[in-house]
Amino acid sequence: MTSPPVRVSFFGGLGEIGCNMASVEVDGRIAVIDVGLIFPDAEHHGIDLILPDWSSLTERTDDVHCVVVTHGHEDHVGALPFFLRDFPGVPVYASRLSVGLLRAKLEEHPDVRADLREVEAGERIVTGPFDLEFVGVSHSIPDGFAVAFHTPHGTILHSGDFKLDQTPIDARPTDLPHLAQLGDEGVALLLADSTNADVPGMVPSESTVGRTLRDVFDGADGRIVVTTFASHFHRLQQTIDAATGVGRRVCFVGRSMVRNAPIARELGYLTYRDADVVEMGDVERMPRDGAVIVCTGSQGEPFAALSLMAAGEHKQVRVEPGDTVVMASSVIPGNEHAIFRSINGLVHQGAEVVHRGIAAVHVSGHAAADELKILHNVVRPGALVPVHGEYRHLVAHGRLAAETAVAPEHVLVCEDGDTVVVQDGEVTRGERFTPGRVYVDGLGVGDVGNAVLRDRGRLALEGICVAVVVVDQHARVVSEPDVIQQGVIYEPEQAEMLDLARKTLGDELIRSGHDGDPAVIRRMAVQTLARFWRERTGRRPVILPHIVEV
């Protein structure tokens, strides 16, 4: 019998940085590749996290066979605890480090049942209809994978996030010989990281950052603060080495930093002595040239350690003139304003701030254009779908592929909600589905949608006005309405304005009549006050009428 075609579906990560999630369906069974999240920006009022919408899979719960994790970054695994609530006990295949980080993350979700299964680079396993092969790649977190799906209709290779660093900190470069072997055997479809597709050349080695850190530390007299991602263990190792090299001890600050560093050390991905580390409570009692504080907050997150230091609000760390702050991280699009606010706050307190704009304190973990060309020429795929990137990155990657080993007609630039079908080694577009996003707000998951966000946006921009109208049992108005506001006008001005608003509404209710109908009273209150605020202030607050019967 001929096997049914293999279907690849994209739930997130094609058109944005984050929410990475795809699926491969073989013989009616589904393997999910990564389940990532994205952090909200200013337009997501009050939202904590944003997840992919996998509701179409919940209709086929029994068909979801496993999850395959490429690496341990939040944009690839952050939504997994929420996913496992809907698919309890589904096996999750991940590297040793990814499993360690996931175990720590899942401790915060005691209601989630997880079956974490450790696999190694170079390993090949068969589970159900899936024949999986894991290839080691270099990235800004150790223990990353590319994953090959050997299917009845050809091999599908997902690159994961990768770069071609020839001198990585862990001495484990991307396994090009293994990728070449897969290419020799034949790859029908390549799904490849596109984040730096529009960046020419090759990304510098992570080891270049270590040299810069040593130079900065050698020239620093006061306290040193370094901020980076809590999962960037290569960067943390170089920071620790630079600190101990100048006789300083290291202090980890920030919830995720304090949690992740011991995990990485226990698993062998960080090396330091107990004597090299000092607790936060001891730092203020040390000489200012005695410690390097390694903290979270590289993206200007409001309550992260560095942001609090920049605002002078950290309870334990004070930044003083002569201190040095190293921002050893990238700038995630959308976070520029918050990051610059932190930099300005630190400079205002007298610190020297060293960032990637003036020194080589950060290199990307994603392959640039020439590295992608090497990947294409090594793998020689029959077709390419660029993944992991904004739409401009995907298009740029498609152009690169067409210059190398992939025929232009076999480059499929897709978006979230697209599917591709692999049959007898040929790749075509499949039926599209409607992608979505699920918002996490406090304890609620999915109970806030776009309509609620629009209301929150209006409240944030224009404020709210509440009209209270008292009526008798026949719905006749028995007293002048009360009008209160929040966020519409400044306090000293509001008394006179609100008196006028009450009079205007009361006069309108008397003049127009409302036939004793509460619905008509509500509508008149909204229309009258909306017109009042627009004419008097040019603003359009949310109007909430409230009818009280006495």
Q: Rounded CA gap, 8 and 190, in Å?
A: 11
Q: For residues 176-185, give the mean pLDDT.
A: 97
Q: For residues 345-372, give the mean pLDDT.
A: 93
pLDDT tens digits for range 247-286: 999 999 988 899 999 999 999 999 999 999 999 888 888 8
What local confidence, expressed as pLDDT, does residue 381 receive? Answer: 97
Q: Is the pLDDT of residue 158 over 90?
A: yes
Could you say which DSSP state residue 62 is in? G
Task: Name the maximum alpha-carbon separation found in the chain.
Answer: 86
Q: How far apart are the first and last CA of the chain?
A: 77
What local confidence, expressed as pLDDT, does residue 350 receive? Answer: 92
For residues 65 and 133, is the Cβ–Cβ distance under 8 A? Answer: no
The CATH number of the domain covering residues in 463-549 = 3.10.20.580
Q: Rounded CA gap, 163 and 2, in Å?
A: 38
Q: Rounded CA gap, 73 and 216, in Å?
A: 28
Q: Is the pLDDT of residue 46 over 80?
A: no
What local confidence, expressed as pLDDT, does residue 502 receive? Answer: 85
Q: Is the pLDDT of residue 433 over 60?
A: yes
Question: Could you tell me which residue, 331 or 483, shows the higher pLDDT?
Answer: 483
**Same fold: 207-355 with 463-549:** no
Q: For residues 17-24, give the mean pLDDT.
A: 95
Q: Rounded CA gap, 36 and 33, in Å?
A: 10
Nearest 5°: CA angle at 302, between 297 and 308?
70
Could you say which DSSP state residue 205 is in? P
Q: Is the pLDDT of residue 302 over 80?
A: no
Considering the four listed CATH numbers 1.20.1630.10, 3.40.50.720, 3.40.50.10710, 3.30.70.141, the one that applies to the domain covering 207-355 is 3.40.50.10710
CATH superfamily of 6-201+364-445: Ribonuclease Z/Hydroxyacylglutathione hydrolase-like (3.60.15.10)
Q: How confident is the model at residue 114 (pLDDT cuts 50, 70, 90)?
A: very high
Q: Is the pLDDT of residue 99 over 70?
A: yes
Q: How confident is the model at residue 451 (pLDDT cuts 50, 70, 90)?
A: low
Q: How confident is the model at residue 304 (pLDDT cuts 50, 70, 90)?
A: confident
Q: Could you tell me the sign of the dihedral formed by the alpha carbons of 190, 191, 197, 201, in that order?
A: negative
The CA distances from residue 493 to 153, 490, 499, 500, in Å, are 72, 6, 11, 12
Averaged pLDDT score across all residues of the chain: 89
What local confidence, expressed as pLDDT, does residue 542 receive? Answer: 86
What local confidence, expressed as pLDDT, does residue 492 receive? Answer: 66
Task: Tell me the sheet residues that pair with 421.
Answer: 7, 428
pLDDT tens digits for range 361-385: 999 999 999 999 999 999 999 999 9
Q: For residues 334-363, give the mean pLDDT.
A: 87
pLDDT tens digits for range 492-548: 667 778 888 888 888 877 777 655 677 888 888 888 888 888 888 888 888 888 887
What local confidence, expressed as pLDDT, does residue 40 receive? Answer: 66
Q: Is the pLDDT of residue 461 over 80?
A: no
Domain positions in the chain: 6-201+364-445, 207-355, 463-549
Q: Whose CA is closest to 488, among 418, 538, 528? A: 538
Residue that is written with structure tokens 């706050």 in the block? 345
Q: For residues 141-154, give the mean pLDDT.
A: 97
One-letter amino acid for residue 50 of the chain: I
Q: In sequence order, which residues have a C-beta less than 8 Å from that of residue 290 and are 6 or more positions away? A: 248, 249
Torsion from C-alpha of 437, 440, 444, 449, nearest 10 degrees: -40
What percentage of the chain exceeds 90 in pLDDT?
62
- What pTM was computed for the model? 0.85
Q: Rounded CA gap, 423 and 257, in Å?
A: 46
Q: Is the pLDDT of residue 491 over 70?
A: no
Q: Is the pLDDT of residue 333 over 70?
A: no
